[in-house]
Every structure is written in C-alpha cells, then in structure tokens.
Amino acid sequence: MIYARIAGTGSFLPGEPVTNDDLVARGIDTSDQWIIERTGIRSRHLAAAEMSSSDLAKTASERALEAAGVRPDDIDLIIVATSTPDCIFPSTAALLQSKLGIRNGAAAFDVQAVCSGFVYGLTIAEKFIRSGSHQRALVVGAEVFSRILDWSDRGTCVLFGDGAGAVVLEAAGAPGILASALHADGSHHPILCVPGGVAAGQVVGDPFLRMDGQAVFKFAVRVLGDVALEVLDQAGVTVDSVDWLIPHQANIRILQATARRLGVSMDKVITTVDRHGNTSAASIPLALDLAVRDGRIRPGHRFIIEGVGGGFTWGAALLQF
C-alpha cells in the first residue's frame, strides 16, 4: 500500500513586520487597540512592488526542499494554492517550476480555493501519490493579498498580509495523512469575494476584496468545527488523541471559538495570526513550518489542519508527522 507523508516544511514572509501603529502612521483610520481587540493581529508583512506570489513561493519551497533533503528535480508534481497569481496565465505553479530550475517535466498547476487552498492542494497531492502516478509533490500556499486590498476600508485592509508556506509530500510505507474532507457552497459567495474581473484590457467591476465580517465569522466557526469532527470520525479517533490544531489564521476570535466547540485547549492551537495576519492559502503552511521548526510538532505527533475561505470553501485533514 502506498501512503503519503510530509518530508519537509518551509515558509517565507517578505520584508519587515508592518505593525498596527505603522498602518495608523500611513493614514488608515484605525488604532492598535481596535485591531488587537477585534482580530488579535499585531503585525503583517507586505511584499515589495516587484515581488510576486511565485517569488515568495520560491523561497518557501527552497526551504522545504532543504528540510526534506531533496533536490528540485526530485519533485514530480507542483501544486500552488493562491488567489493572487502572478498573471492570468501561465499558472503560478509553472512560474515557480521555472524559478526552481525544475526541468524534468513535472506536472504543475494552481488551485484556487482561497483560504482553504492549502488543504485542497495537500489533499489533491495525496491522491496523486497514493495512486502511484507520482512520488514526490511540492505543495505551496502563496499570496500577495496586499494587491487586492482597498486601503480606505479599515474593516478589511488591516486584516491581511503577504507570505508563502510549502511542504514536500512524498510516498511512504505508513500513512502521514490519516483522513481528509473538502467542501464548498457557492451560494455564500457574496459575503467574501473580489467581484471584479478583466475584459478587453480593462478591469470590469470591483477589483478589491469585500467582506461581511459578521457573516464570515458565523459561517467559519460552524464549518471549521464540523469538518474537524468529520475527519476525526473518518479516522476513528477522538479529539483527545490529537496533539495540535492548526486552523487557518484569520482572526483570533475564530480560532478561540473553534477550539471551544471542539473542546481543545488554546495551548494546543498553533497561533500565528498575531504576527502575520490573514495570509489566505499561505496561513496554514506558515503556521505548520513555524511549529515544526520550533520543536512543538515532533515525529509521531497528530495534528489537524483546517481552512475556510471565500467561495465558500472549507476543508480539513488529520495528519501524523
């Protein structure tokens, strides 16, 4: 039987942290206290104008490859989860492939599931590996959300940041992904979306992120609790057997409410939203890499990753490191 396991993790945050006070100094009508009380966010990272999602993905990927002890050409599948691609096409995954110097014809494509994108990408990669068609996948979440923010809308612009996280997933004789579940319901799209598009060389509609914060909060807490219980049930284990919970890092209140619903202590929740805000598809692999590198997640540990994002999409996976 072929299984898949994480062999290495990596992450990258561009530039120096931009604090809440830095945003106030830039003229945004807000305060450090207002942001912290409502979101738990203290800082975020914003990519320089010349940096793209594939640039952030490249550094995160190089670190994951190094951690896994493999060369770029050992990768035969590349999946990039992003809502902020470098361009309409080619895919950010294909551009990343070029920047990493992978010349072996590895399959490469993007996944667009917004903040659930990394869970989607990892789940898809596992299916490829378990089928026997591929041996080693690079799965990346990379975003430059600062490019789609309306900086006059204090209700959204203070929430998001830029970054990338990556994992190397490889074939193994024992399971590293114990269960997974993916869902979507497009009827909820108006509460979190970027409704604009491009046609005839012009932006058509609204090109900025728009969000109904209260509606998103209620939806997120419900489905994150449901999908975590779903993967636990699939695996036939209880939440008590899980060492860590790694939710999408959107808002500390969502993390706290989800933990309460599952009966998990916040001591077991990997939390990074305070230092980089909501980085959409990058948030889960950023948090995962931090916890692996600081020694909290160790071989044998079980953990749940879960995300919810515009679409609406949501999903979770139960892993063993």
Cβ atoms 107, 249 nearer than 8 A: no
Say which residue the tokens 């074939």 belong to: 171
Kindly tell me the sign of the dihedral angle through the C-alpha atoms of 266, 272, 274, 278.
negative
Count the alpha carbons within 13 Å of 232 in the hemisphere toward its beta carbon.
20
Cβ atoms 12, 62 nearer than 8 A: no
DSSP string for residues in 145-196: GGGG--TT-HHHHTTB-EEEEEEEEEEESS-SEEEEEEEE-GGGGGGEE---
Known catalytic residue at 115: yes
Catalytic residue among 45, 134, 188, 248: 248
The CB density around residue 264, as the number of other CB atoms within 10 Å, is 18
> Cα angle at 65 between 62 and 66, to 5 degrees?
85
What distance in Å separates the CA atoms of residue 45 and residue 145, rounded to the nearest whole number? 10
Burial class (CB in 10 A: 0-12, 13-18, 19+), 167: buried
Q: Find residue 170's DSSP bridge partners.
A: 5, 136
Residue type, 145: F
H-only helix segments in the chain: 20-25, 32-39, 53-68, 92-100, 117-131, 154-157, 213-235, 252-262, 273-276, 283-293
Catalytic residue among 20, 134, 188, 278: 278
Catalytic residue among 45, 115, 134, 157: 115
Question: 315 is written with which tokens?
Answer: 């999903």
Question: Which residues are catalytic, by number?
Answer: 115, 248, 278
